Amino acid sequence: MIAKIPKPGKSFGGCVAYNLLKPDAEILYADGIRTDNIKHTIADFNMQRKLNPGLGQAVGHIALSWSPNDEDKLSDEVMTGIALEYLQKMKIDNTQVLLVRHQDKVHPHVHIIYNRVNYEGKTISDNFQRQKSAKICKALTLKYGFYLAQDKKQVNRQQLKGADQVKYELHDKIKAVSKGVTTMEELKRELAKQGLGMLFKYKSGTTEVQGISFSEGKYKFKGSEIDRSLSYGKLSSQLVEQAQQKEALAQQHSLADQLREIVSREQSKVPSQGTPQLQPAFETPIPLPVIVPEPEEPNWRRKKKGQGEDESKSRGIRR
């Protein structure tokens, strides 16, 4: 759950028309005004602002939004109850209020229009509204179990405007730049190149840094207000860790260079002799064994009985 709070406006006519004339607009709640037609609604708001004619910007407008994950939890009754609880915690009470639900976005949301001139003609202050609202939204999110984004990457940047938009832009730029530096001085210098300011808050009468803030244009935020990781303490720890990692990496590179130099120096001591010649494995030749051939079998063999006689007859020899 988050709240978008634009600057107070001057025209109830424009604000009411924008919210009620949308095709999907649904009035959830009204206090101190008629809702039978848009002209009556605008007239009632303007009638009350006359109780304090010196307040030019009498139009209060807040949009409460939830994650699409909370759609099933947000019936009209639940959304109305939470919006009224939010207003009570914001000290926006005793005045005219109009709640209008829209269906034109993926995420559930309701618009709150209220008169900054209350029923007694007093002004409802808008000092520090955004800071107070952020704490209240988080408390209500936890109380009712709504979806809580784990980091700012899941926030839809296109839906943000004004101070909220600048805050998230600062977050993204500071996180990107801080990854490449190792000291606060480097960080300040690199941010300045992008038109961003960085200021330290010192302990009274000392040079001890107590906090850090960042600025862009007319907007200025404490580091912890942008994100907890951008508080002075956590940002300092991050830079110290990055400096240590950088030093360790430099030492590794130095050692590798030294080893390469040693190897190169040793190789240079060996004279070049062209193509290497194969060397015998042993200095003394090993005698080969003498192989003696087996005697051949004699041509003559003992003749079997009758064999020689037959051969003689065949040759015409008689004994």
Is residue 223 within 8 Å of residue 210, measured between CB atoms?
no
Res 148 pLDDT > 90: no
Return the beta strands (E) in the chain as ranges. Answer: 2-4, 26-31, 59-65, 97-102, 109-115, 197-202, 209-216, 219-222
Residue where a domain terminates, one of 267, 296, 311? 267
Res 19 pLDDT > 60: yes
Res 296 pLDDT > 50: yes
Q: Which residues contact 192 (CB under 8 A, 6 or more apart)?
A: 198
Question: Which residue range(s) make up the domain with 165?
Answer: 151-267
Q: Which residue has the higher pLDDT, 83 or 255?
A: 83
Question: Which residues partner with 30 through β-bridges?
Answer: 98
Helix H, strand E, coil C: the string for 236-255 is: HHHHHHHHHHHHHHHHHHHH
Is residue 197 within 8 Å of residue 208, measured between CB atoms?
no
Res 281 pLDDT > 90: no
Give yes or no: residues 141 and 172 share one domain: no
Which tokens is 73 given? 């939890």
Q: What is the pLDDT of residue 18?
A: 94
Give yes or no: residues 127 and 107 share one domain: yes
In a domain, 83, yes or no: yes
Give yes or no: residues 188 and 117 share one domain: no
Give yes or no: residues 209 and 130 share one domain: no
Give yes or no: residues 202 and 260 share one domain: yes
Give yes or no: residues 241 and 162 share one domain: yes
Average pLDDT over every residue of 289-310:
54
Res 282 pLDDT > 80: no
Residue where a domain terminates, one of 81, 116, 148? 148
SS3 content of the chain, % helix, strand, coil (to 5): 45, 15, 40
For residue range 107-139, what is the model confidence (pLDDT) as tens digits? 999 999 999 999 999 999 999 999 999 999 999
Res 177 pLDDT > 80: yes
pLDDT band at 280 (very low <50, low <70, confident <90, very high): low
Q: What is the CA radius of gyration of the chain?
A: 46
Give the number of domains in the chain.
2
In a domain, 109, yes or no: yes
pLDDT band at 262 (very low <50, low <70, confident <90, very high): confident
In a domain, 293, yes or no: no
In a domain, 7, yes or no: yes
pLDDT band at 149 (very low <50, low <70, confident <90, very high): low
Average pLDDT over every residue of 262-268:
77
Give yes or no: residues 200 and 260 share one domain: yes
pLDDT band at 101 (very low <50, low <70, confident <90, very high): very high
Q: What is the pLDDT of residue 313?
A: 47
